[in-house]
Chain A
């Protein structure tokens, strides 16, 4: 792979002048990346450890004069971070689980069980891809506030995050396309052996679908963790808000160092997940795009 020819030929690069230009550009890019992408993260992590005077003073200091961990412990207590982090975990985990269960079942049905009107249903699901999600938040909010027929409100309830998350056409279509590739023979063999539909899904289809389930899981978790507008609407009750909403609501009235520490803590779970699964995440993004 690394030997494939790109814009600049290997020959040009091997010449002294090519080498010089290459290493100059390389150094420039390293510096640019460090400055643009790593430095802000460093600035956040160390900013929380400066004293309140130092963080507000000019000129800014690159390294804290004294390292205070107080910013982080204060954030943990003052901002009630355990509650908000836990709320976020509950919301993300539930949305992930329900999405896996319902989207997988629906995709399996549409792909393999061929219900009457299945094509119409799939068309209806795909049509929602055309409707920009944010443009519908207000009527969606009204629906969640007063569910039709049963007249219950899901406001201030994690279900208000979980159930709408299931209506994810992108993930469902991803699963359906993957199931389409599983040959019929495999499923028919299982049926001849006496496996029912649920059994076939559980023991044959799901184990074969591990890659796509991983991708869907990552998408589902990241989406909930990063979302802001929807949880802002759903949770007016401060104790139930996820960390993204709580950060903004509380940002006005707390010392800067405490806010910065909270920002760092709010970022840690997603950044950690990215560092652990980076190979899969990056491969998923790159592959998804070129295959269309």
Chain B
């Protein structure tokens, strides 16, 4: 209805547009156009301002404050940072987060690539494989975590049963300080591999067949074709996914929270888990924000690199 009401003004403004003195009319038209444009933008803009921009600024501010909800914040300089840095869990959390990311890259990177490579060669039941590999991604992460917690169970768990069946030594899985982190990486890899495999498959399908043909005529064997055709041709996608995976795995929370609770002996406390602990167990929001800022700075560097790469790729195509 507002549209109908606004229209006469619009058409009225069109007249003076061609008249000798257009400035006033055009100005009014521009203004109504602008108001309308911002009316459409308003809801989204408010949400971004409140829940993205404002928290980002606030994280930095609170990192330098003593902050407890309900009482006035107090400037404390870099005290939050020094306190957090001296927390014995701080080193463990960073070490675990970086190790988690490293293991996730080693396992969660090679396995999907090889899987996609093999799947792409199959001539039958391709649709079936695509659906099945993506199935775990659709299972809620909390359910996957609880499911694997049950698999890892020292008593009735399936993981040790499978090892026994193969006459291999059993493992402590999430109960051993040295195996817990890798056990969590296995869960995360299982749960998230589907997306990676599908993206690799799409990239592999984009490789021109003539390249393989030419390589084969030149006498290149299977491994040489992978090395000289497949890998260079998918290099960009591999790099993209590697950056995305680093960003995602450094924010890991659900698996350690649900499966191990950070234990045993802090072996699976991650940075995000520590942030959560500072805020909701210690009620120390200054410390939580100091940690958030550290994570933010590191991850934004990877994000910036990622966006830069995708943008140059967008300009190429």
B237 touches A290 (CB 8 A): yes
Residue in chain A with minimal CB distance to B271: A135
Residue in chain A with minimal CB distance to B58: A139
Measured between beta carbons, the chain B residues less than 8 angstroms from A244 are: 140-143
B295 touches A266 (CB 8 A): no
Known A29-B129, A124-B53, A139-B56: A146·B69 in contact at CB below 8 Å? yes
A109 touches B203 (CB 8 A): no
Measured between beta carbons, the chain A residues less than 8 angstroms from B225 are: 7
Measured between beta carbons, the chain A residues less than 8 angstroms from B289 are: 138-139
Measured between beta carbons, the chain B residues less than 8 angstroms from A233 are: 280
Select B317's contact among A2, A134, A247, A292, beta carbons within 8 Å: A292
Measured between beta carbons, the chain A residues less than 8 angstroms from B222 are: 7-8
Known A106-B40, A138-B288: A263·B143 in contact at CB below 8 Å? yes
Measured between beta carbons, the chain A residues less than 8 angstroms from B303 are: 129-132
A147 within 8 A of B: yes
A138 touches B40 (CB 8 A): no
The stretch from A63-71, A206-214, A267-275 touching chain B is: A267-275
B81 within 8 A of A: no
Among A6, A135, A233, A247, the most chain B Cβ lie within 10 Å of the Cβ of A135
Select B150's contact among A256, A271, A281, beta carbons within 8 Å: A256
Residue in chain A with minimal CB distance to B299: A132
Known A143-B55, A197-B3, A291-B317: A274·B117 in contact at CB below 8 Å? no
Select B147's contact among A44, A56, A134, A139, beta carbons within 8 Å: A44
Cα-based distance from A198 to B39 in the complex (angstroms): 11
Measured between beta carbons, the chain A residues less than 8 angstroms from B143 are: 244, 247, 263, 266-267
A7 touches B300 (CB 8 A): no
B156 within 8 A of A: yes
Contact mask B32-69 → A, CB, 8 Å, 1/0?
Answer: 01101110110111011011111110110010000101
Measured between beta carbons, the chain A residues less than 8 angstroms from B313 are: 292
Cα-based distance from A55 to B156 in the complex (angstroms): 7
The minimal Cβ–Cβ distance linking B170 to chain A, given in whole angstroms, is 12
A138 touches B120 (CB 8 A): no
B307 touches A129 (CB 8 A): yes
A253 within 8 A of B: no
Among B48, B237, B275, B310, the most chain A Cβ lie within 10 Å of the Cβ of B48
- Interface size class for chain B? 35 or more
Number of A-B residue pairs, CB cutoff 8 Å, is 310
Cα-based distance from A279 to B257 in the complex (angstroms): 33
Contact mask A158-184 → B, CB, 8 Å, 1/0?
Answer: 000001101101001000000000000
Contact mask A259-292 → B, CB, 8 Å, 1/0?
Answer: 1100100110011011100100110011101111
A290 touches B288 (CB 8 A): no
Measured between beta carbons, the chain B residues less than 8 angstroms from A8 are: 121, 222
Known A229-B276, A271-B138, A274-B135: A139·B62 in contact at CB below 8 Å? yes
A194 touches B7 (CB 8 A): yes
Measured between beta carbons, the chain A residues less than 8 angstroms from B280 are: 233
A141 within 8 A of B: yes
Measured between beta carbons, the chain A residues less than 8 angstroms from B230 are: 7
Measured between beta carbons, the chain A residues less than 8 angstroms from B124 are: 26
Select B258's contact among A44, A125, A131, A248, beta carbons within 8 Å: A248
Cα-based distance from A161 to B310 in the complex (angstroms): 30
A86 within 8 A of B: no
Cα-based distance from A243 to B289 in the complex (angstroms): 28
Measured between beta carbons, the chain A residues less than 8 angstroms from B34 are: 115-116
B84 within 8 A of A: no
A121 within 8 A of B: yes
Measured between beta carbons, the chain A residues less than 8 angstroms from B206 are: 290
Select A163's contact among B41, B51, B135, B258, beta carbons within 8 Å: B51
B184 within 8 A of A: no
A40 within 8 A of B: yes
Cα-based distance from A56 to B195 in the complex (angstroms): 33
Select A6's contact among B125, B133, B161, B209, beta carbons within 8 Å: B209
Known A2-B123, A129-B307, A270-B140: A109·B38 in contact at CB below 8 Å? yes
List 25 interface pairs A-B (beta carbons < 8 Å), by A numbering.
A4-B205, A7-B121, A26-B124, A33-B133, A40-B136, A106-B44, A108-B40, A109-B37, A109-B38, A115-B34, A132-B250, A139-B55, A139-B56, A196-B7, A225-B140, A229-B253, A244-B143, A247-B142, A248-B258, A266-B140, A266-B142, A275-B131, A281-B134, A285-B198, A289-B203
Interface residues in chain A, defined as those with a beta carbon under 8 Å from any beta carbon in chain B: 2, 4-9, 13, 22, 25-26, 29-30, 33, 36-38, 40-41, 43-44, 47, 55-60, 101-103, 105-110, 113-116, 118, 121, 124-126, 128-148, 163-164, 166-167, 169, 172, 194-199, 201, 222, 225-226, 228-229, 233, 243-245, 247-248, 251, 256, 259-260, 263, 266-267, 270-271, 273-275, 278, 281-282, 285-287, 289-292
Known A140-B51, A267-B140, A285-B202; 7 more pairs at CB < 8 Å: A7-B225, A121-B45, A135-B296, A139-B55, A139-B62, A229-B253, A270-B140
